[in-house]
Amino acid sequence: MARSVLLFGLLLAHFADAYDLVKTYSGNTFFDDWNFIYDWDHWTGGDVQYQNTTGGANLTSVNEAGNVILRVDSWTDIRLAQYEEKRNSVRIEGKQIFNNTNAVVMFDVAHVPTGCSVCRYTFPRRILYLTRPKSGGSLWSKSGIQQWPKGGEVDIFEAVNRMSANQMALHTAQTCTIPNPNPNASGQTLLTDCTVTTNPDGTHGNGSGCVVSDPQPESYSSFASSSGGVWVAEYAPTAVNIWFFTRPSVPSGLTTAATIDTATLGKPTANFPTSDTCDIAGSLDPQHLVIDITLCGNWAGEVIADTCGALTATNCYQQYVKDPANYVDAYFEIASVKIFGGETTLLENGTIPITTPTRSSATIRPSSTNTRSLIAPTIGDSTSTSTTTRPNDAHKQMVWSAGGLALASALTAALL
Ligand SMILES: *[C@@H]1O[C@H](CO)[C@@H](O)[C@H](O)[C@H]1NC(C)=O
Ligand SMILES: *[C@@H]1O[C@H](CO)[C@@H](O)[C@H](O)[C@H]1NC(C)=O
Ligand SMILES: *[C@@H]1O[C@H](CO)[C@@H](O)[C@H](O)[C@H]1NC(C)=O
Ligand SMILES: *[C@@H]1O[C@H](CO)[C@@H](O)[C@H](O)[C@H]1NC(C)=O
Ligand SMILES: *[C@@H]1O[C@H](CO)[C@@H](O)[C@H](O)[C@H]1NC(C)=O
Ligand SMILES: *[C@@H]1O[C@H](CO)[C@@H](O)[C@H](O)[C@H]1NC(C)=O
């Protein structure tokens, strides 16, 4: 009797925390599933021109290890250019939109862009956001169906210049703050307010995002020399959790697993929980992934000195961007990006599950219920002040179930 109750706990743990592989981006087919953004970086005022494709711009490739490369142009010298040209870079946005309450994203990465003026976030970000809050970052997700900041943003990896470690962040159009201190995460909370404010005229105002710093330098400054690492981001009903594993600490089999059970991963590096000050599920739309590299930007001159020394030229662009030699390390090398979940994880047009289930029990919603328009104004609406706490706290149930699992294993072992 006790045993069957415990086994029930074990089953609960399995269904609550286990996510099946539903999408892999890697190797020669990697770029088929991303849209190349062709634009200058008007999101962050960065001094880059994002280029379309692999072909013309020479910025993306697949190396001998089968890993995908995305990089900043590190060969074109524009020091003597007649005009102040921007440097070529890449911003790609995933074609797949995934369920914001039922997904795990895994980035298996060998190298992240580093160097002075590379990327552009740094602490304190407040400085960067005073006049113009921004989306942006390096490995991140945003709403797949609405214009930022609506629908939220999750920054999984984001670092700049020669700072030490990665800073994970959440940006929400709804009011949201995170706890500090947070015993449920190993990272250090730097900023607690996730909210991007709305100006009286409806445009977005301030918002540095709530920021959690990874204590491990292997998450950025010594990332490549430590053979890279793996980020796992869980989008659950009651929390967004991010784990970072240095290469030696990657759980055995994780990068090749067909299923991820987040209950086995230990304490996350960052934990953005639903609480009475934040409705995580309600603050996020279905998301899609973004990978980009940008340089300098409107505010970088103010922060670049923190880790790169005082500027000797008039600004970051003049000092760094013109010389390609500054960008030899400004590239991503990515072994794979994967999305895990279930039948409801990959969504067509943001709201309708795609017919590629991994379990046979999948059902597609009848078309008569597919009435939500592509732009859904009520999701992540910046005018909403909802901070509802979900009464059925599924995550707590998962935590309990995981405890049940451990207990069941221990007792089963004792009984045998
Ligand atoms: C990139 O795409 C845009 C929009 O489709 C197009 O106008 C532009 O010519 C393309 N540029 C290159 C270099 O392919
Ligand atoms: C492509 O990149 C390589 C560096 O990997 C560089 O030497 C070469 O000049 C680039 N080619 C073009 C056409 O930009
Ligand atoms: C940490 O997790 C426990 C168990 O889920 C929860 O009761 C507690 O409120 C969490 N603490 C914070 C600061 O979120
Ligand atoms: C943005 O932040 C600045 C500085 O903290 C403050 O003066 C201003 O009122 C804020 N604006 C909004 C719309 O919150
Ligand atoms: C998704 O959007 C595309 C392009 O707008 C449209 O052709 C397709 O019918 C939509 N699919 C569904 C299931 O609504
Ligand atoms: C997202 O997943 C949850 C849990 O499976 C499901 O209840 C919800 O309907 C899904 N969302 C969409 C838009 O399919």
CATH of residue 180: 2.60.120.200
Indicate the top mutation candidate among 348, 354, 372 to test ligand 5's pocket, ranked by most ligand atoms within 8 A of CB: 348
Q: CA 15 → CA 10, 122, 136, 175, 257, distances in Å?
A: 9, 39, 34, 31, 16
- pTM across the whole model: 0.80
Local structure of residue 295 (DSSP, 8 states)? B
Please state the rounded mean pLDDT for residues 138-167.
Answer: 88
pLDDT in tens, 319-359: 889 999 999 999 999 999 999 999 999 998 888 887 643 33
Confidence class of residue 274 from pLDDT cuts 50, 70 and 90?
very high
The pairing of beta strand 259-261 with beta strand 287-292: unpaired
Strand ranges in 275-390 using DSSP code E only, listed in sequence order: 287-292, 331-341, 346-348, 352-353
> What pLDDT does residue 151 have?
94
Does a structural domain hold residue 412? no
> What pLDDT does residue 203 have?
74
Q: CA 199 → CA 44, 177, 185, 279, distances in Å?
A: 19, 19, 33, 22
Residue of the CA atom closest to atom 5 of ligand 4: 130
Q: How remote is the CA of residue 89 from the centroid of ligand 2, in Å?
A: 13
Please state the rounded mean pLDDT for residues 246-271.
Answer: 97
Does a structural domain hold residue 403? no
Does a structural domain hold residue 263? yes
Residue span of the structural domain in which 354 resides: 17-397
Q: How remote is the CA of residue 275 from the centroid of ligand 3, in Å?
A: 9
65, exposed or middle or buried, with CB in 10 Å at 0-12, 13-18, 19+? exposed
Please determine, for residue 416, whether its predicted confidence score (pLDDT) is greater than 70.
no
Half-sphere exposure of 154 (CA within 13 A, CB side): 33
Residue of the CA atom closest to atom 2 of ligand 3: 184
Does a structural domain hold residue 265? yes
206 lines ligand 4 (CB under 6 A): yes
- Quote the CA–CA distance of 163 and 57 in Å, as a whole number: 29
**Total count of domains within the chain:** 1
Q: How remote is the CA of residue 69 from the centroid of ligand 6, in Å?
A: 33
pLDDT in tens, 72-124: 999 999 998 888 889 999 999 999 999 999 999 999 999 999 888 875 333 33
Please state the rounded mean pLDDT for residues 188-197.
Answer: 93
Q: How remote is the CA of residue 323 from the centroid of ligand 5, in Å?
A: 45
Q: Which residues line ligand 1 (CB under 6 A)?
A: 38, 52, 56
> What pLDDT does residue 296 have?
85
**Structure tokens belonging to residue 78:** 């524009």
> What pLDDT does residue 41 have?
85
Strand partners, 347: 97, 353
Please determine, for residue 409, whether its predicted confidence score (pLDDT) is greater than 70.
no
Please state the rounded mean pLDDT for residues 384-399.
Answer: 26
